[in-house]
Structure 1
Amino acid sequence: MSETPLYDIRDERFRGLIAGSARLEELYSGCRWAEGPVWFSDMNCLIWSDIPNERMMRWVPDGGVSVFRSASNYVNGNTRDRQGRLVSCEHGGRRVTRTEADGRITVLADSHNGKRLNSPNDVVVKSDGSVWFTDPSYGIMSDYEGHKADEEQETRNVYRIDPQSGKVEAVATDFIQPNGLAFSPDEKQLYIADSGSSHHEVPRHIRVFDVIDGKTLANSRFFCTIDKGVPDGFRFDVSGNLWSSAADGVHCFAPDGTLLGKILIPQTVSNICFGGFKKNRLFITATQSVYSIYTTTNGAQYP
Structure 2
Amino acid sequence: MTAPFSSSNTDLFKKAPTRRNILTGLAGASVLGFKNVKAASLSGSINPPSVVSQPARAWGAQAGPSFLPDPDVIFLDPSFKDLTYFAAPIRRVWDQGGWLEGPAWSTEGRFLILSDVIRSRALRYTWETGEITDFRPDSYAANGNCFDFTGRLIVCEDFFRRVVRWEHDGSVKVLADHYNGQGLNSPNDVVPHPDGSVWFTDPGYGTNLAEGHPDSPGGPTNPDGKIRWNIGRELIGEIGGTKRQADHVFRIAPDGTLTAVLQEKDLRDPNGLCFSPDYKKLYVVSTPKGPGQSVGGDQAIHVYDVKDGTLSNGRIFSTMQLNGVQMNPDGIRVDVFGNLWCGASGPLGLCGVMVFNPSGKLIGRIRLPQGCSNLTFGGPKRDHLFMCAAGSLFTLQVGVQGFAPS
Aligned to 1:30: 96
Please say if 1:43 is aligned against 2:109.
yes
Q: CA deviation at 1:110?
A: 0.1
What SS does the corresponding residue of 2:328 show, helix, strand or coil? coil
Corresponding residue number in structure 1 for 2:155: 88
Normalization by structure 2: what TM-score? 0.71
Q: Residue 3 of structure 1 aligns with which residue? A: 49
Deviation at 1:104, TM superposition (A): 1.6
In 2, Cα distance between the equivalents of 1:229 and 1:254?
A: 18
CA distance in 2, matches of 1:145, 1:74: 6
Question: Higher Cα Rg: structure 1 or 2?
Answer: 2
Q: 2:389 aligned with 1:286, yes or no?
A: yes
Q: Tell me what 1:222 maps to.
A: 316
**1:136-285 equivalences in 2 (<5 Å):** 136-140=203-207, 142-149=208-215, 150=219, 152=243, 154-164=245-255, 166-173=256-263, 174-196=266-288, 200=295, 203-213=298-308, 215-227=309-321, 229-247=327-345, 248-285=351-388
Which of 119, 123, 128 pairs up with 2:190?
123
Question: Contact 1:251/1:259 (CA < 8 Å) preserved in 2?
Answer: yes
Distance (Å, rounded) in 1 between the aligned partners of 2:205 and 2:296: 16
Spell out, residue by residue over 1:61-105, the C-alpha distance to the aligned partner (whole angstroms, 9 max, x if none): 232111001211100000011110000101000000001123221
Q: Which has the higher contact order (CA 8 A, sep 6+)?
A: 1
Q: Which range moves more in the overlay, 46-55 or 21-30?
A: 21-30
Secondary structure of 1:268's partner?
Answer: coil
Give 1:226 shift: 2.1
Correspondence for 2:39: none
Q: Which of 175, 188, 195 is matched with 1:108 structurally?
A: 175
Shift, 1:197, TM fit: 5.8
Superposed CA deviations along residues 155-200 of structure 1, whole A, max 9, x for unmatched, are 2000000102x01110001222000000100000111000126785
Tell me how far apart the structure 2 counterparts of residues 249 and 202 of structure 1 sit (CA, whole Å): 20
Structure with the largest fraction of strand:
1
- Give yes or no for contact 2:267–2:297 (8 Å, CA) kept in 1: no
Identity across the alignment (%): 42
The number of aligned residues is 300
Does the 8 A contact of 2:336 with 2:401 survive in 1?
yes
Structure 1 stretch displaced more, 130-139 or 153-162: 153-162
Q: 2:84 aligns with which of 4, 13, 18?
A: 18
Deviations 1:134-162 (A, max 9, x none): 0000000x200000113646520000001
Secondary structure of the 1:57 match is strand
Q: Is the deviation greater in 106-115 or in 57-66?
A: 57-66
Q: Corresponding residue for 2:56?
A: none
TM-score (structure 1 length as normaliser): 0.95
Secondary structure in structure 2 of the residue aligned to 1:231: strand
What is the distance in 2 between the residues matched to 1:202 and 1:59? 33
Flag structure 1 segments of 5+ consecutive residues without an equivalent: none
Shift of 1:120: 0.3
Q: In the aligned structure 2, how far is the partner of 1:79 from the partner of 1:114?
A: 26
1:54 and 2:84 equivalent? Answer: no
CA distance in 1, matches of 2:75, 2:298: 23
Higher helix share: 2
In structure 2, what is the equivalent of residue 99 of structure 1? 166
The amino acid that maps onto 2:381 is K
SS of 2:206 mapped into structure 1: helix
Query: 2: CA distance between counterparts of 1:252 and 1:93?
Result: 34
> Partners in 2 of 1:78 and 1:106 — Cα distance?
15
Root-mean-square deviation (CA, aligned residues, Å) is 1.5
